[in-house]
Structure formats: structure tokens, C-alpha cells
Chains A and B, each alone.
Chain A
Amino acid sequence: MSIIRSHVLVCGGTGCFSSGCKKVQAELHAALERHGLANEVRVVESGCFGFCKMGPIVMVYPEGAFYCQVMPEDAEELVKEHLLKGRVVERLLYKEPVTEESVALFNDIGFYKKQHRVALRNCGKINPESIEEYIAHDGYQALARAVTRMTPEEVIEEVKRSGLRGRGGGGFPVGRKWEFARVSKDSIKYVVCNADEGDPGAFMDRSILEGDPHSVIEAMAIAGYAIGASQGFVYVRAEYPIAVERLSIAIKQARETGLLGKNIFGTDFSFDVGIRLGAGAFVCGEETALMTSIEGHRGTPRPRPPYPAVKGLWGKPTLINNVETLANIPVILLHGPDHFASIGTEGSKGTKVFALAGNINNTGLVEVPMGTTLREIVYDIGGGIPGGKAFKACQTGGPSGGCLPAELLDTPVDYDSLIAAGSMMGSGGLIVMDEDTCMVDVARFFLEFTQDESCGKCVPCREGTKRMLEILERITKGQGEEGDIQLLEELAEVISKASLCGLGQTAPNPVLATLRFFRHEYEAHIRDRRCPAGVCQALLSYHIVAEKCKGCGLCKKVCPVEAISGELRQPHMIDKDKCIKCGACVAKCPFKAISR
């Protein structure tokens, strides 16, 4: 057997896959062959490192050197310099945006410094397609401890003591949910993992499934033992092909190793897991709709109670937890509930993974202790707003959540503080918006989403969201009327009170939150027929600022309808009757002399 002296981890998550990691892998293999290192250096495809913006990411162990935006043509240099001669390739290291200094080690990078990885502990560290690597990182030890040395009640007690709350959005105490399912009397029960991650802009569950699928399977088995179920289902989006594939491989390996199946660890506990694919319906992230979909029907929700813990899948008691929630379970059983509870705040224990995206320098996945402030996430980890633009708002909670303005940047992120501030935790999408974002348009965007995804079963959601969307469309088209804001608020109240499921109940939130913090923007659209951020096309009026215009004539050339006139080296003019508001002149003007 040859001794492997170095491991090269190439991120194979969706972000890096999109940036071309497969070619990088192939080139690395080829370069290792050429230099005769193929027997001593191993290339491993790992899960997501979280720093998607800098992908494709390559890490070289044992040094822990962190290379980013590695292109296929860099493979030769990387192999020759680092792996053959032992010299770190400075050029490919991460550079801190402010100091321009290169950072060799992953833990020293600003993006990772403030993070605390619990749910993502193995992502980017192990090969997700190898059960051996998971086991080598303490995998399945928690399951072993649970089934051989603990009673189901003791397991539930530890989960309760940890203070873990549901990470999918609701924030319900996990231990209590398990207890409800435990006390329901039935010979058949189910454990369901909700991997129907539908919030646009949230992708932590996908990363966990892609980077550490065994942690979810292990946790499902522990849950099965605790509540007395022998069958589990993972309901996963069909839009996540890599996650589905890695999960299938992991289930197969667990079965072959005897960690799923009959008589696990020689006990009389048996458990198996199956995969069910979603088919592109946001409402199926709601637990009752999800179960209806697993049963093979149109995914419409049903009234609660009865809760799934009493009457769930095929009428049997069912425990539903989301991916990130489950990924925390093995850690709790392994290191003790008190250790877990020492992280975070009084009411929100542990960590939360956020998908940082939008107008921010460091996009990617970050995991921070509960109670970290939005400012720390946006500026210290996220590196601030690109292009010197000003921060305007950050959106949490997806289409069910709200936008928080700059004044609230010091809000700590935990379940209760976010709700108090007027938003919600949601599943962890955190979208940063800069000064060029129109908040009325953002509200319209989310309403369009929920309207489209409304399943149509109950009237307040089906009709109400449609009417709200119509009003918002009118406002963004410059046809807003006095009284529109009041009407929106009235509709919002009815929809949130009378809808059947969480989708409808929370659908008005983006409108209410933007009205709360950015009411003046609505008023500017309605009263002044003006879009302060310059986004709503119909409200734009282009004109050339004479003092700034040098008369270069570029705008005149680029205008498709010949609406711009003027002599060379003299300030130009835009004929508003001819202008079609295409924005071509603004993009072209080198002096930023055209305003809208």
C-alpha cells in the first residue's frame, strides 16, 4: 500500500461545479501523473467550503493551504510548485479585499474567522461519497451511543436539554417535537427529512446534503430510535441533482455497512431511509403539503391539528425535521447537550447557517453562533458592499420574511430578536441589497413569487396575494393611487389571519416589512411618480446634467431611437417624447452625466 503524503481537496459543491471544478480536477490528475506524484498525492472531491464566490476552491492538506478561483490551466503550476517543490503558490491564495495581503491558511481568512462550524463541520473536509471518511470523523458514533447505551427517552431528554430549535424557519423546540411523536401510540411511525429548500437565496441544506449526507442519515436513524419509527424519507428537490446523487450513494453505503437496515449495532432497532423527489412546488416545504406530496398527490396543505406528530404520512405519526436541524443532532449526542447549549443566546442555542448573497463582496455559506449581529455578518464576514455603494437593507426569511434597514444592523441574529425587529429567521437566506435596490420592486418580486406558488386551495391566499400583486404592479408602473398603501395593509391583515398554511400566513410579510421601514419609497412612487432607486422603468425620466456633460457624443451614437441631440463638445439633450428609457446612454456615458 502506498502512503499518501498530501491530499488535494477540490470543492464539488454546486457553486464550484458551476465555476468549472470538474475540469480543474481532471487537470490536477493529469499534472500529478506527469510529475509522477499520482501515488503519493490524492485528489479528493469534497463538499462545499462555503466561499462560493471564490470558487473553484482547492485546498491542500496537511498544510491547509487555501487556493481560490483555480482555473484548469493553474493545475500544472500548483502541482509543480506546491506538491513537487513544497512552495505555496502565492498568486492563487486568497487576498483580503482591504489589505490586499494574501492569506495562506483557511482559518486566517476574514470570511472564516468569525464562523463556528457545527452543522457544516464536515463540509469541505471529507469526501462526501466515502462512509469511511465520515466514520473517521466520529460519524455514526452518536447513533451507536443512542441505540446501545441510551433509552429513547434519554435521547429525547438530551435533545431537549440542548435547546435546539427547528432550523427550517419555524424555530419550534426540536426535543418537544420528538416527544410528541414518541408519545403518539402506533405500530408504524415515520421520520421525514424536509430537504425541499425552496426559499430563493437559501442553499445551506443543499450544501449539507452535498458535503455531508451521512450526518443527515445518522440523525434520522437517531430520531427513528427516539420516536419508535423504522422508516424514514428524505423529501428533496429535484433541482438539486448533485445532492440527490450523493444522498443515494450515502444511503447505499450505510445499508452495506449495516448502519441502516435490520438490527442496527446488533440491537433490535431497525431503520431504513428512502428518497422522494419534489417536483418544483414551493408550498411543499410546508410540512402537511410535503406529506401530501410524498403520498403522490398534488402538494396542497391540510389543516392542523391534527399535527403530523399525531396524524401524518398515510395517517401515521410522523416527525418532520429539516436538514440543518438534523445535522446538529449527532453533535449534541456526541459532545453533550450542555456543550451545544453553551453556544448562542438564552433563547436560541447553537449556531445558524446563513446563505449570504446579493450585493455583497463575499457571497457564500456562513455558520455563526446565534446572537452574532447582522453587522458582523455583512461587514466582518461578508466583506461589505461591492463598488463602494451604500448598504440599504438585508432581507432575511425569504418570501416569508422581511427587510431590515441600516439602522437595525446591530440586531443580533436569533429567533426572537429578528421577529422583534420586524423580520424572521426563516431558513437562513440573507440577501444584502445596496442603494440601487427599489424596495417596492423587491416587495413586488416576493409577492409575484408567493402568488405564483400559492397552491390555490384557500381563498385568502389565492385571491388575496393576486390583488396585492396587482396593486404593487400598478405602483411600480406609476399608476399608484392614494389609498393604495392602506388597501395593501388591509389585505395583508386578512391574508395573514385567514390563510390555511404558512405560505399564505406569511406571504404579506415582505410588503409589511418594506412599508414599515421604507414607506417613503412607496409614497414617492405614488405621489411623486418617482422611483428613488432608479429601478422602476416606467417611472424613470432620463436627462443630461449640463455641468457634467462634456459633449463627447457617445450617448448620441448609442441611442437606438435618436432621442439625443447636441453639438460636439456642447452639452447634449434628451428628447423625452422619443426616449424609450432603455438605459443604453447611462451605461455608455463616461462622465456619469445622465441621471434618471
Chain B
Amino acid sequence: MEDRKCTGCNCQQGQDPRFEELAKVIEEYRDMEGALIMVLHKAQDIFGYLPEDVQKFVAQGLNLPLSEVYGVTTFYSYFSLKPRGKYRIAVCLGTACYVRGAAEIVSAIEKHLNIKVNDTSSDGRFTLEVSRCIGACGLAPVMTVNEDVYGRLTPDKIPEILNRYE
């Protein structure tokens, strides 16, 4: 464990208790074959995203080259390397939502928040993302705001829904 204390990378590991939590996760998964993706899922749960120092920490903990970790985090769309807003809006762009007008929902949100897809609003409140089918096709078009799901959307419902999130 000694060598994991400081790598001289200017990170906040020393002070940040979240790294202790992550170290426990790594400990739990260390002996599992192919643990990297499962560990990254947990790491993203803890930190909200996967900044460089977290990826380095995982790489060291699992004894993998950083390039391997970076390769995986950039391959899978579920992992984010950028910090995200307090509320993550994900508009489903599955086929059912698309034919029911999901594109108009995206532009209504872009207009309302004055941001583009994959951006975070300047106050750090919202990040707008588009997602793959979440399987709520019966309610298309659908979006999620963190854990909340909104279905049967129309562009005029957007301001009222987003205003609920402070």
C-alpha cells in the first residue's frame, strides 16, 4: 500500500476521503478477473465522473497500465471524463422516441438552458446529454433528470419540468 500514497501528481488524494472509499472498492474487486469496468462503475458512482487522478488511482490499484484504463473509459459512453452538473438531463434518442419527436425536445432544452448537448450550464446545475434507448418506449418521447423519468414530453412542458430543479 505504501507506494500508493503519493505519486507526486498534484492530486488531492491525501485529503480526499473519497479515495479511501475507492481503495476499499479496489480491494474488494482486486482478485476478480476483468474487474476494471466494475471498478470504474463504482468510481464514477463515488466521484460523479472519472478525472485523471481517479483513473491513475484505479490503474495503480489494479496493477494495469494507465493507457488500458484510459482506453476503457474513453470507449464506453457511460463513463464521463468531464465533471457534470448537479442534475443530468438525458434525452432518449432511441427509435421510438425519435419518431415521436425527441429531436424537438433536445432543441427545446438547448434553447431553455442556452447550452448544447454534452455541455453543462454555467451555473453548474444542468448537464444535457442524449442517451440510448432506456426502454420506456411506451411513453416516448422520454427524458431522465438524474433518477426521475419524464414521458410523453412536448417542447412546451420543458421549462416547467426544469424549473422544478433548484
Contacts and interface: CB of A to CB of B under 8 A. Distances in A.
Interface string A335-347: 0000000000000
B96 interface: yes
A357 B96 contact: yes
A276 B137 contact: no
B135 A206 contact: yes
A203 B137 contact: yes
A380 interface: no
B95 A15 contact: no
B56 interface: no
A14 B99 CA distance: 20
Interface string B23-44: 0000000000111111011000
A398 interface: yes
B6 interface: no
Contacts of A281: 75-77
Q: Which bucket holds chain A's interface residue count?
A: 35 or more
B97 to A, nearest CB: 8
A431 interface: yes
A298 B72 contact: yes
Q: Which bucket holds chain B's interface residue count?
A: 35 or more
Contact of B136 (A18, A358, A359): A18
B133 A201 contact: yes
B78 interface: yes
A363 B95 CA distance: 13
Nearest to B137: A357
B139 interface: yes
B98 A445 contact: yes
A295 B34 contact: yes
Interface of A: 14-15, 17-19, 51-53, 55, 197-203, 206-207, 238-240, 276-282, 293-299, 314, 355, 357-359, 363-364, 395, 398, 429, 431, 433, 437, 442, 445-446, 455
13 contacts: A17-B149, A18-B149, A200-B133, A201-B95, A201-B96, A202-B135, A277-B37, A279-B37, A279-B79, A298-B72, A363-B140, A445-B95, A455-B75
Given A293-B37, A431-B95, 20 more contacts: A19-B139, A201-B96, A201-B137, A238-B41, A239-B132, A277-B38, A278-B76, A279-B77, A280-B79, A282-B132, A296-B72, A298-B72, A299-B75, A299-B76, A314-B33, A355-B137, A358-B100, A363-B96, A398-B95, A431-B99
Identify the 8 closest CB pairs spanning chains A and B, nearest first.
A52-B138, A203-B135, A296-B34, A279-B76, A200-B94, A357-B96, A280-B78, A357-B137
